[in-house]
Amino acid sequence: MTDTSFCWGPLLEGGPLFLGILNLTPDSFSDGGRYMATEAALAQARALVAAGARMLDLGAESTRPGADTVSEAEEWQRLAPVLAALREVLPGVPISLDTRHAEVARQGLAAGVAVLNDVTGFSDPAMLALAQTSDCGLIAMRSRIDDGHLVMPPYDAPALRRADEILGELRVVRDRLCLAGVADRRIVLDPGFGFGTTYQEDLSLWRALPELSGALGWPADRFCIGISRKRFLAARNDTPDLPPDQRDDLTAVAHAEASALGFRIFRTHAIR
């Protein structure tokens, strides 16, 4: 029998794979509220694809520091009409669903989603079970969770952990999926810049990118670099007050740096 489960390999042919971010939220750090209406979301999706995105990454729950928790029902209510419309107008573009809730993920897969992107690294047993029993692609991110909530320390706080300790958290994510029997070809790992890290920790993690593949025993082209518009870029540029929607040039520079190291998958708000 032919194995029809998702494989990242074909998508990595022909240059970088940009996942165009489509936030269906009122409170995301970069563009919250702009794409809540279905027509606005479709217009942005078309623009991202025209600019070079070969996959769209939809999220309906903000994970910015201090964001309110969204019920699964509300999250799906935001997603459902846009997913249905995208299947009509952009049927050839695969969709990644950014969710940490198993019921939302299950409904997304039924609606044609190709990839599940979980910022909690499939730490919820229900999400891990769904990863095991489905044949979709997976993006598994390192983050810090305490009592079910994402930990977001003050960004200007001193570094408490070294890069190798942070990479150890990503190794736990990798092992969780591999030990559950999920095929490697389905998995992409995300270091999780800005998730439970301070600026100094993000900086050490960025400087560790050349060693990332060797440290994890994982191909460089199967990491997702999610750095788009993040405060790390503004801080690194000595412009910490630069608004998120004015950080696209800094994002493009970071993408070029990572691409030179062999990384090929980038989750991004805009493509330069």
One digit per residue, pLDDT tens: the chain, 272 residues?
457 799 999 999 989 999 999 999 886 666 667 888 999 999 999 999 999 999 999 999 977 665 567 899 999 999 999 999 999 999 999 999 999 999 999 999 999 999 999 999 999 999 999 999 999 999 999 999 887 778 889 999 999 889 999 999 999 999 999 999 999 999 999 999 999 999 999 999 999 999 999 999 999 999 999 999 999 999 999 999 999 999 999 999 999 999 999 999 999 999 98
Question: What pLDDT score was predicted for residue 150?
Answer: 83
Give the Cα separation of 122 and 32 in Å (integer): 25
Residue 168: its pLDDT value, please? 96
Predicted local confidence at residue 67, as pLDDT: 58
Residue 272: per-residue pLDDT: 85
Q: What residue spans define the domains of the chain?
A: 10-16+63-78+87-267
Buried b / exposed e along 43-68 (16+ C-beta atoms within 10 A)? ebbeebbeeebbbbbbbbbbbbeebe
Residue 157 structure tokens: 């706080």
Q: Closest Cα to residue 80, out of 56, 108, 59, 99?
A: 108
Report the SS3 class of residue 254: helix
Cα distances from 60 to residues 94, 167, 200, 258, in angstroms, run 17, 28, 29, 27
The H-assigned helical ranges of the chain are 38-51, 72-89, 102-110, 125-133, 163-179, 199-207, 209-216, 231-236, 248-260
Q: Which CATH superfamily is domain 10-16+63-78+87-267 in?
A: Dihydropteroate synthase-like (3.20.20.20)
Dig out the tokens for 136 from the structure: 């979709």
Instruction: With beta carbons less than 8 A apart as the criterion, state whether 192 and 157 touch.
Output: no
How many CA within 13 A on the CB side of residue 43? 7
Supply the angle between the helices 199-207 and 209-216 in degrees, to the nearest 10. Answer: 70
pLDDT attached to residue 1 = 47
- Nearest Cα neighbor of 236 from 260, 204, 211, 264 is 204
Print burial letters for 89-121: b (CB count within 10 Å at least 16), e (below 16). Answer: ebeebbbbbbbbbbebbbbbbebebbbbbbbbb
